[in-house]
Amino acid sequence: MRSGLTRGSQWAKFAEGLAPYESPASRMVSAAGSRAQLAKLFGGLEDKEVELLVFDLDFWARREQVPPDKFSTCFVMAGRGFGKTWCGARWVIKKAWQAKSVGALIGPTAADVRDTMIRGASGILALSPPGFTPRYEPSKRRVTWPNGVYAICYSADKPDRLRGPNAGWGWGDEPASWKHDMAAVDQLPLVLRIGTREHPPQLLLTGTPRPLKKIEDLLFTNAETQQLKPGVVLRTGSSLSNAANLAPSAIANMRALANTRWGQQEVLGRLLFDVPGAIFGSARWGRVHAEPHEYAQQLDRRIVSVDPSPTSETGSDETGIIVQGCKSSVLYGADGISLKRVSVLADLSRRASPREWATTAIRAYLEWGCDALVVEVNTGGEMVETLISTVAAEMGVSVNVKPVRATSAKSKRAEPVSALAEAGRIEFVGTFQKLEQQLSKFTGVNGRRDDRADAFCWGVHDLVFAEQFFAV
C-alpha cells in the first residue's frame, strides 16, 4: 500500500472510476471517513515518501484538470479559481519529463508568462518536484529541465516572434486576453511542427471562456452545433469545483452570481454564444436553395459592397466584400414605395492588400453583372476611389464606384437593416457561415471584428434606403 501511494501510474488506473470533480486524494479522504483513519492510512509514510506524495500531481489533480493523452488542441475552459494555471503547469511538467522536443509557453504578456505561468503560486517552479526543478533564464526566455528538455517563452502581444524554432508541444494561458485579435494563435502552427501522424504536436490552452470568433474558429467546425474539429478536446469546469481551495467569501459571491450571464461565463465556465444587445438578434433570415448566379438573374439590381481594411497584417480585420441584390416586391408600403427584398449572393471577404481587394471586388462586379461598387471611404478617402479606378483601368474595364462615408455610430446604420431582417425581407442564397456569425454578434460597438457585417449593411442601404433615407 505504501509504495502504491507514491506511483503516478497507480493513480492513473485508480482515477478511472472517479467523477470529474474528484481526485485520488479527495476520494481517499472521503473513503477514510475520519482523521483517525487518515492517520492510519498515511501516518506510517517515511519523510521521503511524503515528499514524493506531495509532488505527485496525479494524486492531487481532479479528473477535469487532466487533459487526455491524445489530442492536437485541448482547451481547458473554466471559471475563475478552477485551477487552470495549476492544470497547465502540471501538464507542462509531465511533457518535460516525457518529451524529447522543445516546448513553447505563451501568455498574454511577457510578465504574465513570468509571474503566472512560471513563478506563480500554481506555476511551473512551484509545482516541480525536487530533482526535476527547471532552471528559468529570463534573459534567454527559456525554461530548462534537468533532462535537457527546454521550453521557450513567448508573449502573445508580439505574435510575430512566434516564428522561431520547432516545438512539439505548447501551453497557452488565457488566450481570450491575447492582443491583436489573438493573432498569436495564427502563428502557432509555425512553431508546433515536431510530431507524427500518431503523435502530433500538442497545444494546451487554459483560460476563462469568451465568445470570440477566433476561439470559435479554433475549436469548432460549426459553432452553432458546437461540433469540435478533429483532434480538438474541450474541457469545461466551474469555479465551484475548487471550493476547497478558495476563500469562503469568494465562494459565496460566486454562488450568488452563478445564475447571471456574467456568472455563467466567469464562474460556471460556459462559452456563451448569444450576445446581449446583438442588433440582429430578432432577425428572420430567409434561406434560398438555388444556384446563386441563376437566381441573381431574377433580381432588379446587383451590387458589390466593400468595407476596406486599412492593413493586411496578421491579426487585422479582413476587407468585407459582399455581393447582394434586390427585387421589388408586388407589395407597396404606405408611402407607395415598393417593399424591396434583399438577397445575399456571395461573400468574398478576405485579408488582402488594397490592390488585391480592389481586384477581387472589380472581378465580382463584372461576374455578377453589377450596377454599382459601393465602398466605404472613411479610411483612405479619395485614395480608395482612385485605387479602384486605377485597377479597373489596368484591367481594361470601367466600374460605377459609389463612395459612402459613415457619419455616426455603426448601430445607427445597422438598425434599419435589422428592421428589414426582422420583417423577413433579407435572404441568403446559400449559407454564409462567417457573415452570419458576425451578424449574430453584431452590437455596433467599435473594436469588434465586423468587416463582413459592415459591408453587408452598406449594401442594404444602397439597395433599399438610398431612395428614401440613408441612415449612416
Q: How confident is the model at residue 282 (pLDDT cuts 50, 70, 90)?
A: confident
Q: How far apart are CA 108 and CA 43, in angstroms?
A: 44
Q: Which residue has the higher pLDDT, 441 or 150?
A: 150
Q: How confident is the model at residue 5 (pLDDT cuts 50, 70, 90)?
A: very low
pTM above 0.75, yes or no: no
- Over its C-alpha atoms, the chain yields an Rg (Å, rounded) of 28
Q: How confident is the model at residue 10 (pLDDT cuts 50, 70, 90)?
A: low
State the average pLDDT over residues 362-374. Answer: 97
Whether 429 shows a pLDDT value over 70: the answer reads yes
Whether 85 shows a pLDDT value over 60: the answer reads yes
Q: How far apart are CA 160 and CA 172, in angstroms?
A: 16
State the average pLDDT over residues 412-426. Answer: 87
What ranges do the domains of the chain cover?
Answer: 61-267, 286-466
Phi and psi at 193, nearest 5°, equal -125, -5
C-alpha cell at 452: 463582413
Q: Give percent of the chain with pLDDT exceeding 70.
A: 89
Q: How confident is the model at residue 304 (pLDDT cuts 50, 70, 90)?
A: very high
Contact 286, 427 (CB under 8 A): yes
Contacts of 336-340 spanning 24+ positions with Cβ under 8 A? 337/467, 337/468, 339/425, 340/425, 340/463, 340/464
Whether 149 shows a pLDDT value over 80: the answer reads yes
State the average pLDDT over residues 94-104. Answer: 90
Average pLDDT over the chain, rounded to whole?
86
Q: Which amino acid is at 339?
A: L
Q: Which residues pair with 372 in a beta bridge?
A: 303
Element at 21 (helix H, strand E): none
Phi and psi at 79, nearest 5°, equal -70, 170
C-alpha cell at 101: 522536443
State the average pLDDT over residues 362-379. Answer: 94
Q: How far apart are CA 326 and CA 211, in angstroms?
A: 33
What's the CATH fold of domain 61-267? Rossmann fold (3.40.50)
User: What are 180-226's pLDDT values in tens digits?
Assistant: 878 898 888 888 999 888 888 999 999 998 878 788 889 998 766 78
Helix, coil or strand: residue 422: helix
State the average pLDDT over residues 142-167. Answer: 90
Q: Mean pLDDT check: name the lowest of 178-192, 315-329, 418-432, 440-454.
A: 440-454
Q: Where are the beta strands (DSSP E) in 71-184?
A: 73-78, 103-107, 135-137, 142-144, 150-155, 169-173
CATH 3.30.420.240 fits 286-466, yes or no: yes
Q: Which residues pair with 105 in a beta bridge?
A: 153, 171
User: What are 127-139's pLDDT values in tens digits?
Assistant: 999 999 999 999 9
User: What are 28-50's pLDDT values in tens digits?
Assistant: 888 888 888 888 888 888 888 88
C-alpha cell at 330: 408586388
| Distance set, CA 33 to CA 15, 19, 26, 28, 144 (Å) | 19, 18, 11, 9, 42
